């Protein structure tokens, strides 16, 4: 390969990796803003309104119009600090109509009395805090399918829940408990967000710089 061709290749690589590094910086700022918004919503949650649109993982408060049905579903194979257990899912009604579900967090076993205690604690407090997840029928690729006939569950799936409960869930969101007054086994929505974009951008910029250095070395060799 002659000098002109090598120059073209290394300049192209340098430009491409620089663009990718700049894109990662943009993603870094976007992710920081997103995480700041989620933190602010945790500290100062607003009352949830069915008329508004919400971003995933934003925290809100539910008023007294949202009540719980004692018809539990348990998500299998969930751990808390290394202990195996379940996530408790309960349907929620809005003004006496079936609306959505709430994930009440981790439980060690399928204890009926514990479920009743959780419901009583939930209903005894004002404006319990939750965060929002999209309520759809998507399933992660490696997650097993829910077995409705044997009441074995692995994921929150709107179609499966509608079939199992024989309800038409009205909401496009479901909720995850974020209130220590109800349960100490809750999980912060920020655990779902990783911000490695700075490391990625540094890697791309170093590759861009390395391409320029290699180009200079090769050009000197041809002189």
Domain boundaries, the chain: 3-38+196-222, 58-189
Please, which residues have CB within 8 angstroms of residue 116's CB and are 6 or more apart in sequence?
70
pLDDT in tens, 121-178: 999 999 999 999 999 988 878 889 999 999 999 999 999 999 999 988 989 999 999 9
pLDDT at 7 over 90: no
Q: Which residue has the higher pLDDT, 155 or 7?
A: 155
Helix axes 3-43, 197-222, angle to 10 degrees: 170
pLDDT mean over 65-88: 90
Residue 131 has what pLDDT?
95
Give the 3-state secondary structure of residue 119. helix
Strands 173-177 and 97-107: parallel
Percent of the chain with pLDDT over 90: 57
Answer yes or no: are the C-beta atoms of 104 and 72 closer than 8 Å.
no
The pLDDT assigned to 223 comes to 64
Determine the longest span between alpha carbons in the chain, in angstroms.
Answer: 83
Percent of all residues in the chain with a pLDDT value above 70, rounded to a whole number: 97
Q: What is the pLDDT of residue 191?
A: 78
- Tell me the pLDDT band of 96, cut-offs 50, 70 and 90: confident
Q: Per-residue pLDDT for 2 more than 70?
A: no
């Amino acid at each position: 390969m002659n000098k002109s061709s090598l120059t073209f290749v290394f300049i192209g690589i340098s430009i491409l990796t620089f663009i990718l590094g700049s894109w990662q910086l943009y993603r870094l700022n976007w992710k920081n803003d997103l995480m700041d918004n989620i933190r602010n919503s945790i500290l100062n949650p607003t009352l949830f309104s069915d008329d508004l649109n919400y971003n995933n993982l934003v925290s809100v408060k539910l008023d007294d119009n949202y009540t719980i049905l004692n018809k539990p579903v348990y998500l299998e194979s969930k751990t808390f600090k290394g202990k195996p257990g379940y996530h408790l899912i309960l349907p929620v009604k809005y003004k006496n109509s079936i609306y959505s579900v709430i994930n009440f967090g981790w439980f060690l076993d399928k204890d009926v009395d514990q479920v009743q205690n959780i419901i009583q604690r939930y209903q005894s407090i004002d404006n319990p805090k939750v965060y929002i997840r999209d309520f759809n029928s998507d399933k992660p690729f490696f997650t097993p399918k829910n077995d409705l006939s044997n009441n074995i569950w692995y994921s929150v799936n709107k179609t499966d829940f509608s079939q199992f409960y024989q309800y038409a869930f009205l909401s496009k969101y479901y909720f995850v408990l974020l209130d220590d007054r109800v349960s100490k086994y809750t999980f912060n929505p920020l655990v779902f967000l990783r911000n490695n974009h700075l490391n990625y951008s540094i890697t791309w910029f170093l590759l861009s710089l390395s391409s320029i250095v290699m180009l200079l070395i090769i050009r000197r060799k041809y002189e």
